[in-house]
Structure 1
Amino acid sequence: MKQQLKAIILVCLSLTFFGCESLPPSKKVGAQQKLPRQVINFNNNWKFYREDPSGLTERPVEEVVLPHSVKIEPLVVNDQWQGKSLYSKDFPVEKVKNEKWFFHFEGIMQEARVSINDSLVKTHKGGYLPFTVDATPFLKNNSQNIIQVEVINVDDATIPPGKPLADLDFNLYGGIYRNVQLIKTNLVHISDPVYAKEVNGGGILVHFDSVSSEKASGFVKVHVVNDAEAEKELKVRAIFTSEEGVKMTFLTPYKKLASGGDEHFTAEVSVENPKLWSPSHPNLYELEVEVLEGEEVIDRQAITTGIRKIELTGNAFYLNGQELFINGTNRHQEYPYVGYAISNEANYRDAYKIKQAGFNFVRLSHYPHATAFLKACDELGLLVMNAIPGWQYFEEGTFAENALQNVKDMVCRDRNHPSVIFWENSLNESGMTEAFMVEANEILKAELPYDNTFSAGWIDHPAYDLFIPARQHAQPPNYWNDYNTPNRPILIAEYGDWEYYAQNAGFNQKAFGDLKEEERTSRQLRAAGEKMLLQQALNFQEATNSNLKGEQTIGMSNWLMFDYNRGYANDLEASGISDIFRIPKFSYYFYKSQKPPYQGNFSEPMVYIANYWQPNSAPDITVYSNAEEVALYLNGELIEKKKPTRTSFSDELWYPPYTFSIPEFVPGELKAVGFIDGKEVATHLVRTPGEVSKMALSVDISGKEIARETSDVVFVYAKLLDENGTLVHNASLPVTFEITSGENAELIGENPVKAEAGIATILLRTKEFKAPVTIEARAEGIPVSKIKVE
């Protein structure tokens, strides 16, 4: 019965025609033109069907836009949908002679079976890395064609991370959750680096062997495929363009490329006075690569890259010749409700928030994140530790083979990003065999056989260049501070959560034997209140201070940036310094205060009062600041002006917190002022909240406007305020959101939604956002609030 139903659905999908995305006439699918390469957004107008695992209910066929999640889940995902689904799309082919057509899938969770015109073309296993399909042999010229993708998202021990969802520390959200492109090239073309499967090659590979502020020298290697019937004589031109518009052109010698053959072309590159990439100055270059037959450009591809020099010693990391301490966080790519199905712009906004928090580094936990996120890290100046999918699971055989393939695919996809400095070719917290660890590192070094290729592993094994344990993998009080393996650098890959939660649980996160009392844990929702949020911040402060005592510690990344869902848990993992809606907790401002002022981008002076100043507030007022002095005022009267006081919890910090004592609560206004060189540089105000009397709406853009041509998803916040505009932190009124005008937009999430700590949040999802959208919010007893999203 299931098979019959599926066949009926396939026929229905194939009979329904949905045209190409809205594109200028010169870019429409099948248009007659001589452009050497077209990359066409293929996200719109898909038909989607989700099977009922019981086989009892026929689910309707929907029209969807990618990125897409198989199911909109509740805020706390304790029974995530798993099963099979089907995506289908019709497209016209008016094929120009001598063309190649490829479909590039950035990510499908987690097994995909791609068919074109009823021919199975590709089966791909793995949810976090891309794959490409050569559609050319399967197309029907001058007619409608259909592409179908069967998506299977079920427990599969052969596909990393391999562990059943019910036991996994994160969720695997099914669907075509990243972008799809239709790529049209000539028969002679630059290959896709993952598709080509060339060791230390395929696609475009950029490497600089020698880098200084005076000169950078290296090469651009380009893999060219000749699918034409005749031999071709070709050369490659590489054009670097700086952000200031300075162009530098480099050529390879001509080579003859036989029909059906492929060849790597290498251009030697030398850049005088290069603009070097760093977190404080993330300078980038556009690299345009052209394949030339005579003077005719027969393929052209552009990427963005950067020039930097990285070095690793036994106890330090160097960037561009200067020692740099790595201060970072971990990130899961999940959004509430839609799971992994987030836009390029949403990925950028996450990177922006990480940078805003004062970090210079992000560890991708525990899998490769979207290319858009890495591009944002390049642009904003965030160092990255890339990682293959894995968590507390290992099996020899097919699973291990797939994990090793992930190493290859990850490196081929991400090798040109200046942000990527470490490759975590290690299965996180998993009992890998000696043979696996050695082979994983051999693969990495074969793909990138350079002195500045650094592997990272959670097991202290000589195959890895960098040892990356979690803080809780050692014992208090020293943790890893007494680690002294000669010439072995260490980076604390996770800290601040588990050691304050269930210290003696080891790796069994479902059966802890020594659960810490609630007031000690770092897992605190924003609604937990001022006292609990201060405890979380103190935990991170104490752990940060402790980590800085290690002589061989080159860096650290806290656990973690944003709250998230887990397959095995019935609550949110709440140790994020921001909640799942990306709203900061007190801990966020502790980290923001640890970034020095006036050192490149995102390094402004700051001061923040970690207190709501209400009757049950702590009388000892904690203030975070990177200023030299802070003055605290109560209702305009100076309480004290002071420098920070160092304690056993802050004696290693770059900027210790300030503590002020106010013997008696007096309602009104607290004001903190930060001073550098005697001058006022930053101010923060906190007022005693009254009763809720109004509401204010805002949309979280975080450095990236809502996408115009493609789909996007943004947070809409409704803040419950008193008559003076002060957030009422204990307010939990239900808020109802409604779109009252505008097209191609929808609200996603609980609606009405109960406010948490004074803020109610919903998601706005847009498609081809070309006209304003008006949103209204209502709550009992207060006026309606409205926002016009331009």
Structure 2
Amino acid sequence: MKFFRLASQYHFLLFLTIWTFLSACQEKKNLPSPVSNFNQGWEFVKANDTSWVAVTVPHTPKVEPLVVNDQWQGACTYRKRFSLKKIPNEKVWLEFEGVMNNATVSLNGTELIKHKGGYLPFVVDLTKQLKEGENELVVKVLNVDDPTIPPGKPLRKLDFNFYGGIYRDVNLIRKKKCYITHPVVAEKTASGGILIHFDTITNEVANGSLQVHIRNEFDSERDIYIEASLTDEQGKRKKFKAEEIELSAGEDKEIIVDLTVKKPMLWSPADPNLYDLKVMLEVDGDLVEVMEKRIGIRKINLTEKGFLLNDKEIFMSGTNRHQEYPYVGYAISNEANWRDAVKIKNAGFDFVRLSHYPQDESFLDACDELGIIVMDAIPGWQFFKKGEFTDNAIQDIRDMVRRDRNHPSIFFWEVSLNESEMSEAFMERANKVLNEELPFNDTYSAGWLDHPAYDLFIPARQHGEFPFYWNGYKDGKRSVFISEYGDWEYYAQNAGFNQTAFEGLKEEERTSRQLREAGEVRLKQQALNFQEAANSNLKGKGMGTIGMSNWLMFDYNRGYADDLETSGVSDIFRLPKFAYYFYKSQRPADVDIKHSLAEKGPMLKIASFWNNKSDSIVRVFSNCEEVELYHNGKFIARKKPEINELNDRLISPPFDFNLGKYIHGVIVANGYIDGEKVIQEEINTAGLVTDLDVSIDYSGIPLSTEDPDIVFVYAKGVDEYGYFNERFDEEVTFELEGKGELIGNNPVKAKAGIATILYKSVPGDTTFNISAKSKWMYGTLKEIDH
């Protein structure tokens, strides 16, 4: 019995020891992130002003008018007073994700860094100047024309705007003095931070490696151990380990972890499967750092026969995107970037070209998650200059790749200055640098000039000749991706690049540049232009063309113009035009898209407002096999699409119905697949507006609770039966109850039946109400807590 009691006590103590050990391990493996939010608590002042204003970043120095033809440029200063407990043997940095476009950072009166460039991150080491108690950080920002900083061209001659300020997130990074480096700070080719790549991929197994760059800033040697894990979306986890190494004082080294994944879940636009990568760094037996990232496994291959994704040929159809919002320019939330990506996916696109600069990494995260293929791009447009400008453009390539290289959505790297007469030396140098940074067989460069240095030739459609453009192009070396189409060839009839000298060529009902309020006839023409051009591009499939991206997704401002560029399939407020639904109809109804925010299945849209200005030919966009139409209960027809030279290559040509003489009332369209009715839409001739329907566009992404968020608020004019009336054009006044602010003209005149304003939220407080009124009409949100 005595032995039994001793044994029981021993087992209890052993159990207690194991439990304590496991608890400690569990605690260690859930270390807080070394990166934290540093966006709040700033103050701001413009040059020559004396009053500091409390702000939160992302921030714009000036809220601009809707049409920006005199954008603010100049100098401004941000400062932040903060206290941070100094911890022995700790390093402290600040990461600025985007400051436009020349920044000088000082801490406690000591200048730490000067940085040129507005679209990519830079990192400041605060460690030596940081002190106990209050610290003062000062960031001087200069946003003026500078021919040494890409895109280089003066704003007044530029086809887009670059807005000033600290317009992206600022992150505080705290790590032990032996740490995983930041890829931009490390400034090492094909190194820094973590780099993951799979060299061989089949349906059975994926083999690759994880490279982790470690730096030891202790004054003595340290024992280093790396453990990584990949967890799939079903929760299945696999661990990978590296051999323990010794790192001398001041030494840095890449540690390679071999990866083997059996039965990999491959990434594709329809199935954007992702893995949770966790990298754990142990120093002298203690877990000191955990890094986490979402990654994907996919096999891409650019061949002479076409483009293969996971060994299957695909033809990519997408769009271009500028990151600008009305009024606030670039200073938008991560959630706002996500909402744009959701809209692009749900417009039927599986590809986006980042025109013409690297965009916020949150947008890339969204593309990873939603299944949108990306062409990443360095800043550039119709400007080239030897010397410091080209050196900075080359550095942009390195910084862009180092920031973005682990995103599975990025298939192509546009290391080309868009529509710029680049030198031979620059193109060769740009491609050499890309291949140095990504020394893999599936690294593909893209350039707008047909030069052998580039893997992919990306001309705009208008760079070719009517009527064939790029159909049939193939020189045996490069495939073609039509990077822009649907706008310029209809606007200027191939007048060339001098966009300011051919204004007289604009034909109002021919151009693709149409405001959403331009009316039914012109919106239908815009959609037809995109349809015609897309159909023509598809004739090049199998003859060198591997994909296309229209110009473009959202309307935007230009530095040289006093009007909006309106060839977007949605307007600047993200409201869709008819062309949006044309593209939406090109996604097959039977494609099962995995992400919950991605729309799928049958779609149908009647492209008409059905009023006395409507065309008697009613067009219906649908991915159904057949559509039937009723007018005021009368059967008009049930038909398949009529095939002609403008739609014979489309997945789903539109349906046209002749209703003859206009009679007001209701139109009902039914869509059929395999003989069964699967979808219905109804539109009505609207009466006088009697109410305002107020809504907020979340696109499935809730308001941020950490940072200020920005969403669009719409007030739609509806009649007594709730039917939308696109002719409503009265002034609307928005009123806010609760915290936050409304941004934009207020009151604002409704356009095509809808008045729009921006709402900027307050972190941590999502209880508010927004109402709208116009003369005798009044509307309010249905719920209070958002």
Mark yes or no: TM-score above 0.5: yes
1:82 is matched with which residue?
A: 73
The 3 A distance-change label for structure 1 pair 626 and 404 is same
The structural deviation recorded for 1:723 is 1.1
1:763 aligns with 2:758: yes
The 5-angstrom pairing of residues 46-445 of structure 1 reads 46-52=42-48, 58-140=49-131, 142-445=132-435
The structural deviation recorded for 1:143 is 1.2
The 3 A distance-change label for structure 1 pair 506 and 776 is same
Q: Is the 8 A contact 2:308 2:314 kept in 1?
A: yes
Q: Is the 8 A contact 1:609 1:672 kept in 2?
A: yes
2:700 is matched with which residue?
A: 703
Question: Which amino acid counterpart does residue 781 of structure 1 have in structure 2?
Answer: W
* Structure 1 gap segments, 5+ residues each: 1-32, 53-57
After superposition, what is the alpha-carbon deviation per residue over 1:349-390, rounded to whole angstroms, capped at 9, x for unaligned?
Answer: 000000000000000000000000000000000000000000
The 3 A distance-change label for structure 1 pair 598 and 621 is same
Name the CA distance, whole Å, in 2 between partners of 1:481 and 1:535.
23
1:637 is matched with which residue?
A: 634
Q: State the Cα RMSD in Å.
A: 1.3
1:776 aligns with 2:771: yes
Name the CA distance, whole Å, in 2 between partners of 1:726 and 1:472.
41
The structural deviation recorded for 1:516 is 3.4
After superposition, what is the alpha-carbon deviation per residue over 1:113-135, rounded to whole angstroms, capped at 9, x for unaligned?
Answer: 01011111011100000011111
The structural deviation recorded for 1:35 is 4.6
The structural deviation recorded for 1:785 is 3.2
SS of structure 2 residue aligned to 1:505: coil
Name the CA distance, whole Å, in 2 between partners of 1:266 and 1:637.
71
After superposition, what is the alpha-carbon deviation per residue over 1:456-486, rounded to whole angstroms, capped at 9, x for unaligned?
Answer: 0000001000000000111111111131212
After superposition, what is the alpha-carbon deviation per residue over 1:606-641, rounded to whole angstroms, capped at 9, x for unaligned?
Answer: 111101111110001111111010111112221100
Name the CA distance, whole Å, in 2 between partners of 1:194 and 1:283.
27
1:24 is matched with which residue?
A: none
1:738 is matched with which residue?
A: 735
SS of structure 1 residue aligned to 2:579: helix
Residue of 570, 580, 595 corresponding to 2:562: 570
Question: Which amino acid counterpart does residue 766 of structure 1 have in structure 2?
Answer: S
The 3 A distance-change label for structure 1 pair 513 and 739 is closer
The 3 A distance-change label for structure 1 pair 513 and 576 is closer
1:672 aligns with 2:669: yes
After superposition, what is the alpha-carbon deviation per residue over 1:145-182, rounded to whole angstroms, capped at 9, x for unaligned?
Answer: 11110010000000000000000000010000000010
Name the CA distance, whole Å, in 2 between partners of 1:459 and 1:385.
16
Return the TM-score normalized by structure 2: 0.94
The structural deviation recorded for 1:487 is 3.8
The structural deviation recorded for 1:786 is 4.2
1:751 is matched with which residue?
A: 746
Number of residue-to-residue matches in the alignment:
750
Q: Identity, % of aligned pairs? A: 54
Residue of 19, 40, 43 corresponding to 1:44: 40
The structural deviation recorded for 1:504 is 3.8
Question: Which amino acid counterpart does residue 401 of structure 2 have in structure 1?
Answer: V
Q: Is the 8 A contact 2:222 2:284 kept in 1?
A: no
1:483 is matched with which residue?
A: 473
Name the CA distance, whole Å, in 2 between partners of 1:269 and 1:549.
41
Name the CA distance, whole Å, in 2 between partners of 1:669 and 1:133.
62
SS of structure 1 residue aligned to 2:756: strand
Name the CA distance, whole Å, in 1 between partners of 2:266 and 2:50.
54
Name the CA distance, whole Å, in 1 between partners of 2:207 and 2:698.
39
The 3 A distance-change label for structure 1 pair 331 and 771 is closer
1:721 is matched with which residue?
A: 718
Name the CA distance, whole Å, in 1 between partners of 2:558 and 2:677.
45
The 3 A distance-change label for structure 1 pair 751 and 276 is same
Return the TM-score normalized by structure 1: 0.94
Name the CA distance, whole Å, in 2 between partners of 1:583 and 1:470.
26
The structural deviation recorded for 1:599 is 1.2
2:10 is matched with which residue?
A: none
Q: Is the 8 A contact 2:479 2:545 kept in 1?
A: yes
SS of structure 1 residue aligned to 2:444: coil
The 3 A distance-change label for structure 1 pair 587 and 313 is same
Q: Is the 8 A contact 1:131 1:194 kept in 2?
A: yes
The structural deviation recorded for 1:203 is 0.2
Q: Is the 8 A contact 2:670 2:678 kept in 1?
A: yes
Question: Which amino acid counterpart does residue 61 of structure 1 have in structure 2?
Answer: W
The structural deviation recorded for 1:514 is 6.1
Name the CA distance, whole Å, in 1 between partners of 2:269 and 2:464.
30
Question: Which amino acid counterpart does residue 376 of structure 1 have in structure 2?
Answer: A
1:585 is matched with which residue?
A: 577
The 3 A distance-change label for structure 1 pair 547 and 678 is same
The structural deviation recorded for 1:292 is 1.5
The structural deviation recorded for 1:513 is 6.9
2:7 is matched with which residue?
A: none
Question: Which amino acid counterpart does residue 328 of structure 2 have in structure 1?
Answer: V
SS of structure 1 residue aligned to 2:435: helix
Name the CA distance, whole Å, in 2 between partners of 1:37 and 1:323.
40
* Structure 2 gap segments, 5+ residues each: 1-28, 594-598
Question: Which amino acid counterpart does residue 699 of structure 1 have in structure 2?
Answer: I
SS of structure 2 residue aligned to 1:519: coil
SS of structure 1 residue aligned to 2:777: coil
